[in-house]
Amino acid sequence: MSILRVVRCYCAHTISGFWLTGNAWAAFGALRLEATISKSEYADNMTSEIADLREWTDEILNATWWRQQPSGGLKNYLKEDTFEDSAGLALIAAATYRYSLITKSDKYIPFAEKAFTRLIDLVDEDGWVASPVDPYNFRTVGEHSPEGTQLALGSYSGN
């Protein structure tokens, strides 16, 4: 089984557990970093670092997607009985689409597509995506999340 990387926020909160949004940010950030390095003048000297970033992203995606719920959603804390988090779901789907573009692999695309269908179901009449994590208390569901809505749009654009 792959390892879930635990992301810690050293601002006002310390996060413990396998937090979906933290892992999604780690995967998405690693892919952005890989793309930046790959396009730089240092790319030829950093092939092992690029390979590491890709491997770590694959580990995160693999360990996350096998926990997908029948609805297409993912729990806020992946190994706990918590609510489905739309913000983290949108970002891990966006990371999956980006991973597919970079690696030319579609092995996680069925999971991302199921997640995207779930996200569409969660959009209300005002355009808010329901069930986002509360950005001030990571263990509770929020009412509205500009971040969650933006991440859902990002997953739609494949960015």
Residue 84 domain flag: yes
What's the domain count of the chain? Answer: 1
pLDDT, one tens digit per residue, over 65-115 is 999 999 999 999 888 888 899 889 999 999 999 999 999 999 999 999 999
Q: Is residue 10's pLDDT more than 50?
A: no
pLDDT at residue 158, rounded to an integer: 55
Q: Is residue 45's pLDDT more than 50?
A: yes
Domain containing residue 117: 20-157
Angle, to 10 degrees, between the axis of helix 47-65 and the axis of helix 20-38? 150
Residue 2 domain flag: no
CATH number of the domain bearing residue 54: 1.50.10.10
Residue 36 domain flag: yes
Residue 8 domain flag: no
Two structure tokens written together for 85? 């988090």
pLDDT band at 148 (very low <50, low <70, confident <90, very high): low
